[in-house]
């Protein structure tokens, strides 16, 4: 048992920080100008604030489903699996999240009230401010992470949107928040190691 006590989280990391950030830069270059998908963040905010509630809920959930499906396939399955053995499992989880979002969009009765201001703030932060972390943390723009393209900003935007979807029952919003919260936890752990 004492042998395990000497291990830290960094001992389980399967790649160096340089490898991770090169992978992100290659991913961004390979799909450029796919980063335009980040425009879906303000589109979701517009749906939440300016359209009838049922349309806002369904449209938001469907856009989020597309974002999770893309992140799962394009990032986790196609790229991250090159350096991280659990990436195919993450891709499967993203596909599951996308499917749950589609099911939630299809359910009847999306006529509840508007959501919270903090939800809109989280959504805007994920879509517009999160990519700015790259230059602020000393990384080039090629390593910027954007909503609907990378896991962390997609998870933050999803949590913000779920806060804004008051028409969705609380238990449904809570269930849809599980994977984004887990994804953020993994992202925080990884970021603490790869800088």
Provide the pLDDT for residue 180. 96
Question: Bigger pLDDT: 44 or 184?
Answer: 184
Q: What would the pLDDT profile of 70-129 be if each residue is shown by its tens digit? A: 999 999 999 988 888 888 999 999 999 999 999 998 887 655 555 556 777 788 888 888
| Residue 22 maps to a domain | no
Average pLDDT of the segment spanning 50-62: 73
| Residue 85 maps to a domain | yes
Q: What would the pLDDT profile of 149-171 be if each residue is shown by its tens digit? A: 899 999 999 998 888 787 778 88
Map the chain to HEC letters: CHHHHCCCHHHHCCCCHHHHHHHHHHHHHHHCCHHHHHHHHHHHHHHHHHCCHHHHHHHHHHHHHHHHHHHHHHHHHCCHHHCCCCHHHHHHHHHHHHHHHHHHHHCCCCCCCCCCHHHHHHHHHHHHHHHHHHHHCCCCHHHCCCCCCCHHHHHHHHHHHHHHCCCCCHHHHHHHHHHHHHHHHHHHHHHHHHC
> Structural domain tally of the chain?
1
Provide the pLDDT for residue 85. 85
| Residue 172 maps to a domain | yes
The model carries a pTM of: 0.84
Average pLDDT of the residues of the chain: 81
Structural domain boundaries, residue 139 = 32-194
In Å, the largest CA–CA distance within the chain is: 60
Provide the pLDDT for residue 33. 83
Provide the pLDDT for residue 103. 93
Please say if the pLDDT value at position 8 is more than 60. no
Lowest mean pLDDT among 24-33, 49-58, 66-75, 108-117: 108-117
HSE-CB at 28 with a 13 A cutoff on CA atoms is 20
| Residue 16 maps to a domain | no
| Residue 23 maps to a domain | no
C-alpha separations of 25 from 36, 75, 121, 189 in Å = 16, 12, 27, 20
Question: Bigger pLDDT: 54 or 165?
Answer: 165
Provide the pLDDT for residue 54. 64
Query: Can you tell me the distance from the alpha carbon of 104 to that of 7, in angstroms, rounded to the nearest whole number?
Result: 41
Provide the pLDDT for residue 34. 77
Please say if the pLDDT value at position 3 is more than 70. no
| Residue 18 maps to a domain | no
Confidence of residue 178 (pLDDT cuts 50, 70, 90): very high
| Residue 11 maps to a domain | no
């Amino acid at each position: 048992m004492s042998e395990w006590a000497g291990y830290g989280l960094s001992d389980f990391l399967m790649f160096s920080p340089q490898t991770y950030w090169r992978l992100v830069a290659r991913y961004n270059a390979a799909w450029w100008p796919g980063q335009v998908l980040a425009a879906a963040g303000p589109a979701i905010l517009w749906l939440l604030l300016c359209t009838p509630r049922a349309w806002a809920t369904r449209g938001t959930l469907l856009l989020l489903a597309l974002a999770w499906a893309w992140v799962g396939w394009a990032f986790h399955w196609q790229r991250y699996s090159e350096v991280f053995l659990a990436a195919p499992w993450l891709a499967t989880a993203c596909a599951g999240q996308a499917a749950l979002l589609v099911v939630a969009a299809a359910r009847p009765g999306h006529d509840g009230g508007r959501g919270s201001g903090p939800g809109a703030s989280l959504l805007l932060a994920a879509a517009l401010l999160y990519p700015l972390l790259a230059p602020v943390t000393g990384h080039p723009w090629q390593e910027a992470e954007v909503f609907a393209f990378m896991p962390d900003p997609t998870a933050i935007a999803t949590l913000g949107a779920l806060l804004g979807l008051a028409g969705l029952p609380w238990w449904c919003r809570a269930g849809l928040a599980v994977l984004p919260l887990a994804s953020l936890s993994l992202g925080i752990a990884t970021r603490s190691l790869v800088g």
